[in-house]
Amino acid sequence: MIHTENLSKTYMMGDVEVQALRAVDLEIKDGEFIAIIGPSGSGKSTLLNLIGCLDTPTSGAVFIDGIDTGKLSENGLAEIRREKIGFIFQQFNLIHTLNALENVALPMFFAGVGRETRIKRADELLAKVGLGDRMYHKPSELSGGQQQRVAIARALSNDPEVVIGDEPTGNVDTETGNAIMGILKGLNRDGRTIIVVTHDAEIAAYAGRTKRMRDGRVLD
Amino acid sequence: MKDTFLLVYRNIRERKTRSILTMLGVVVGIAAVVAIMSISYGMQESITEQLSEMTDIIMVTPGSAELGSFGDFGSFTERDLKDVERISGVKEAAALMGEMQEVEYRGEKVMVEIVGIEPRDMDAVFGATVKLEEDGDSETSASGRELRDNDRKACQIGYSVANDYFNYEIGVNDRLTINGSKFRVIGVLEKQGGFRSNVDAQIYVTKRDAVTIFDTDDISTIFVRVRDIGEAEGIADEIEEQIDDNHKLDDFTSAMAMGGAIEELKSIFQILQVFLLAIASISLIVAAMGIMNTTLMSVMERTHEIGVMKAIGAKNRNILFLFLMEAGVVSGIGGVLGCIVGWGAAEVISFGIYTAFDVEIGVVMKLQVLLAGVAVAVLVGILSGLYPARKASKLSPVEAVRYE
Ligand SMILES: Nc1ncnc2c1ncn2[C@@H]1O[C@H](COP(=O)(O)OP(=O)(O)OP(=O)(O)O)[C@@H](O)[C@H]1O
Ligand SMILES: [Mg+2]
């Protein structure tokens, strides 16, 4: 389970304070599929980065499985990102020097998983997202939709409980977007918690619950 | 580990030109150090080998002291020789007579330095290092024999005299004409080169024959071997005083203790070695800056990628390790290539010195030098990579991911 308490993030733009997130209290239950929707600049990415332990809050706290992530060291946070969370980006963000299989295996590499297990599992994950025949392709040799599917496989690499997507369909056409949401829906059916940020009401419809954001606040 | 190498290799290959240029810096630095080390070890070895037998020698010449050459500053007498022999601490004293004379062989005339010496003194002068040339004369397995006291009109010739001075090669039992009289070659000396190359260019005859050829019994050099090298300097002073006294002249005699001169020579070479190494080290510093620059650029360019890696769970030390490896691998390969190039360069330099100065300086390639070369390269790489790699590892994941 994930919950935030009074979570706030303030950026300094020169002398001006930008309050990207204002005292957000949010609870996400295990196995839930939640969509966060809101206009540009409302703080969706900021919230997601904090939940995903990519960033640290100005005040307030994020609890993951009861652990106050604010009390963790950099290494502790890296371990949470590695083991408990799979992150999917709008820009796919694959490592362009590595092929699909190596990209998927990378989080396991950082986790110290043995080579054979890594390859076997990466192989299975790619097959699962329908890319069994593209394992040795470099990202530049794949379409946007295919890259995003590699990114999903990579997010699943260390079998995390939570998959987070920041506009995962933002850079693909509607049809591909639906396919990607279908995969995420499937992951949710397998018991994983899915948190997705989107502008698109149609995409949000895949989720079991939708939360709206505005001006750094989560609306009820 | 293997996969880290793979990752590192991909990154190096992606920036091939830059990696090669960086590597080149390391190659040059390490090659310079390796070449200098092996050449100077070669020098040290040849000095030690050629001169170690000479440390107990005092060379007494009239006027200025010049290794092995005969000056025209005057000459010594039999009395001088006897007086030198009497000085305590002197083990042996040998008189040498030397003059340039016209030598004829098969109608060809060349000026060659003729040295007159008592055959029994040969060992005192040469020690064990000057031998007869090992050669085809099957029965003796050496070219001829040593000079003997009762030899008349017989000579031993240096290697260059035998092989280079005349159009025809001279061998044992060939006849030469020295200043009008016929001499039989009874022995050919082994090639000396280096600090004893003067021996190669000389013809040795008995003192008695020399007196006849030169028409004088003046002694041009006295070779002294002392019992205790520690006393050599003192004995040299005594010799100078004694002979100056005999001739009633000041500064007429110069007696040089070779031991001191050799030590001096060695320390000069050591200073030279350190100096050259210092220069070579500058190229290593330049190489280090190259590595640092390349790694910094690599970190900058890959900021986004570092962010992504951190977002999917890389720890700071994973990132640190990746960049250190990258710097280490580039410089390590540079080090290996540098050793090879340095070795080649040393051989070329050695050959160059040989053709230019006829001095043989072997390339002494020590395993330690090669290993140290590679180790220094890797170390320089890792140390120069440390700052950029730490910088990379400390990047904040969000900011790095956001960076395009
Ligand atoms: N690194 C930063 N420095 C300064 N201001 C920032 C930074 N990141 C975000 N902000 C500001 O915080 C606010 C929230 O940004 P955020 O990226 O969370 O919005 P978003 O809801 O994800 O928008 P979009 O839909 O466009 O992605 C915005 O006003 C943004 O300008
Ligand atoms: Mg956003």
- Do the domain assignments include residue A12? no
A-interface mutation test, from B312, B318, B394, most A Cβ less than 10 A away? B312
State which residues have CB under 5 angstroms from ligand 2, the bound ion: A 45
- Do the domain assignments include residue A189? yes
pLDDT tens, residue order, chain B (404 aa):
667 777 788 888 888 888 999 899 999 999 998 998 888 888 888 777 777 777 788 888 887 544 444 445 678 888 888 888 888 888 888 888 888 888 989 888 889 999 998 887 877 777 655 667 665 544 444 577 888 888 888 998 888 888 888 888 888 888 899 888 899 998 888 887 766 778 888 999 998 888 888 888 888 888 888 888 888 888 888 888 888 888 877 778 888 888 887 788 788 888 888 888 888 888 888 888 888 888 888 888 889 999 999 999 999 999 999 999 989 999 999 999 999 999 999 999 999 988 888 777 888 888 988 999 899 999 999 999 999 999 999 999 998 988 87
Instruction: Give SS3 for B400.
Output: helix
What is the domain extent for residue A40?
30-56+72-212
Q: How far apart are CA B188 and CA B172, in angstroms?
A: 7
CB B149 within 8 A of CB B184: no
Ligand nearest to the CA of A38: 1
The neighbour count for residue A135, using CB atoms within 10 Å, is 17
Total domains in the fold of chain A: 1
Closest-CA distance of chain A to residue B21, Å: 21
B302 → chain A, closest CA residue: A95
Q: Does B14 touch chain A (CB under 8 A)?
A: yes
A-interface mutation test, from B9, B11, B308, most A Cβ less than 10 A away? B308
- Do the domain assignments include residue A16? no
Separation of A38 CA from ligand 1 center, angstroms?
A: 12
- Do the domain assignments include residue A205? yes
* Domain containing residue A172: CATH number: 3.40.50.300
- Residues from chain B contacting residue A52 (CB–CB below 8 Å): 311
- Do the domain assignments include residue A1? no
Q: How far apart are CA A1 and CA B135, in angstroms?
A: 94
Separation of B399 CA from ligand 2 center, angstroms?
A: 13
Pocket test for ligand 1, best of B395, B396, B402 (most atoms within 8 A of CB): B402
Say which of B6, B313, B401 has its CB closest to residue A110: B313
Q: Which residues are CB-neighbours of A165 under 8 A, at least 6 positions away?
A: A87, A88, A184, A194, A195, A196, A197
Q: How far apart are CA B147 and CA B156, in angstroms?
A: 7
Longest dimension (CA), chain A: 53
- Do the domain assignments include residue A62? no
Q: Does B315 touch chain A (CB under 8 A)?
A: yes
- Do the domain assignments include residue A196? yes
Separation of A86 CA from ligand 1 center, angstroms?
A: 21
- Do the domain assignments include residue A24? no
CA–CA distance from B364 to each of A124, B36, B199, B270, B373 (Å)?
Answer: 57, 10, 25, 15, 15
B25: closest CA among B337, B324, B276, B253? B337
Instruction: Give SS3 for B204.
Output: strand
